[in-house]
Amino acid sequence: MADGTLKVGTITTSSGSGTITIGQSGETVTIPSGATFSSGTTSTWTSTISYSTTLTSTSADATTTVTGNYYNLANIYFFSLPTLTRDSTFSGSDVLIFSFTSPVTVGSTVDSRNIVGGYKVQGRYSSTDMTDDGQTYWESTTGSSTMSLVYQQMNSSGTGFIRLNGSGADLDITGSFIGA
């Protein structure tokens, strides 16, 4: 078959459904400079943050909402929430943050990337402060749209909740997961 240029407006399968393959193994498909390749969607969602300003709590007693951003590529969701600040998001109170809601239900926790970081962040469980060598992360379960926030004490087996401790404290939450 001769090399050439295919000029069409739309490519569909002959049956109206199924898979369309461009190229084959070992070949490179090139998108020319100036052309765009649309393969995902970008949008926002309202995430509900569950928290408590009672620092001895082991469950949330309040919620607030923030608008997050996400990109969906073949049912893989990449997301970020705006920075949660002790001074503005939570009206200047120290706070324990328990969970947030994701843009869609989690279909699989395989290859999830859970990134949580911030300033003046520590762990707390009941009346115990966790200030030594801790790691913050979010975790989820398949079939849920609620992501739990966890503080893992690295020098022991203890886990607790994420605490924003003191003026200027803030928390950034981003990550990716497979949607249902």
CATH of the domain at 94: 2.60.90
Residue 23 domain-assigned (yes or no): no
Structure tokens at 104: 């869609």
pLDDT at 38: 62
Average confidence score pLDDT of the chain: 88
Range of the domain at 67: 40-179
Whether 99 contacts 110, CB under 8 Å: no
Whether 179 contacts 107, CB under 8 Å: yes
Residue 16: pLDDT band (50, 70, 90) is confident
**Domain count along the chain:** 1
Residue holding tokens 């369309």?
A: 20
Mean pLDDT computed over 109-116: 82
Query: Does 1 have pLDDT greater than 70?
Result: no
Residue 175: pLDDT band (50, 70, 90) is very high
Residue 49 domain-assigned (yes or no): yes
Whether 93 contacts 69, CB under 8 Å: no
Mean pLDDT computed over 31-49: 83
Residue 22 domain-assigned (yes or no): no
pLDDT at 52: 95
Residue 6 domain-assigned (yes or no): no
Residue 66 domain-assigned (yes or no): yes
Burial group, residue 15, by CB count within 10 angstroms (0-12, 13-18, 19+): exposed
Q: How far is 143 from 158, CA to CA, in rounded Å?
A: 26
